[in-house]
């Protein structure tokens, strides 16, 4: 089973898991049967992808997360199980949200639910932005990324909301997980808020 066959509808599926690690963790916006908090191995989450639609524009792109391959890394998020007609509906919606407007491609990964004592994996589809994407911004310091996020806004809302909601999810649903990349950018962005408010 290949991701492109799933997206193209060439594979007849009655059930599919979709892994979210960014805005999907708090705003899936598609119908699903169940959801589970858990993690995937081999990837680290980074604010290295540009967004000129949802959280920015062509002149001032926002920063959103993508996944970078790293054998020693683990990324926490939420997997959503879609069944029956939900499969096609979710894929159609996500193709527009993530692929057309976001520039993401699809991959299949092994998802491990947090509450599964047997560590039984579930194959899940995820959307990922690669370095060859024109919107890819790459690494920068927490201060630079925090400044970009604090000053960007797109059709879906302010880039800062995206950052704060993701940080809130990690603290509330994954309190045992340390995410220095995420939390250092959050601190850098929040430090700028008083100055930005004063400039208005």
Q: What is the pLDDT of residues 1-57, one digit of tens each?
A: 555 555 555 456 789 999 999 999 999 999 999 999 999 999 999 999 999 999 999
Tell me what pLDDT residue 77 has. 98
Tell me what pLDDT residue 12 has. 63
Query: What would the two tokens of residue 52 be?
Result: 């000129």
Q: What is the pLDDT of residues 106-126, one digit of tens each?
A: 899 999 999 877 668 999 999
Give the active site residue among 81, 88, 89, 98.
Answer: 98
DSSP for residue 24:
G
Q: Is 84 left (phi over 0), alpha (psi -120 to 50) or beta?
A: left
Q: Which domains does the chain possess?
A: 3-198 (3.10.490.10)
The residues facing 75 across adjacent strands are: 40
Q: How far, in Å, CA of 50 to CA of 60, rounded?
A: 9
Q: Is 42 left (phi over 0), alpha (psi -120 to 50) or beta?
A: left
Q: What is the pLDDT of residues 142-193, one digit of tens each?
A: 999 999 999 999 999 999 999 999 999 999 999 999 999 999 999 999 999 9
Q: How far, in Å, CA of 165 to CA of 33, rounded?
A: 23
Predicted structure pTM score: 0.90
| 168 is an active site residue | no
């Amino acid at each position: 089973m290949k991701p492109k066959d799933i997206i193209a509808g060439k594979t007849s599926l009655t059930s599919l898991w979709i892994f979210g690690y960014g805005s999907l963790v708090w705003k899936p916006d598609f119908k699903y049967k169940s959801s589970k908090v858990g993690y995937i191995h081999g990837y680290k989450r980074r604010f290295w992808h540009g967004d000129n639609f949802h959280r920015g524009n062509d002149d001032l792109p926002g920063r959103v997360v993508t996944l970078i391959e790293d054998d020693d890394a683990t990324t926490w998020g939420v997997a959503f199980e879609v069944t029956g007609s939900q499969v096609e509906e979710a894929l159609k919606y996500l193709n527009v949200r993530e692929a057309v407007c976001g520039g993401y491609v699809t991959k299949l990964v092994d998802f491990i639910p947090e509450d599964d004592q047997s560590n039984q994996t579930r194959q899940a589809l995820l959307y990922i932005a690669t370095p060859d994407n024109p919107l890819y911004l790459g690494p920068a310091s927490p201060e630079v990324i925090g400044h970009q996020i604090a000053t960007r806004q797109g059709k879906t809302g302010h880039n800062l909301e995206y950052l704060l909601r993701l940080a809130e999810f990690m603290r509330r649903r994954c309190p045992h997980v340390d995410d220095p990349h995420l939390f250092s950018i959050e601190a850098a962005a929040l430090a700028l808020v008083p100055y930005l408010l004063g400039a208005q």
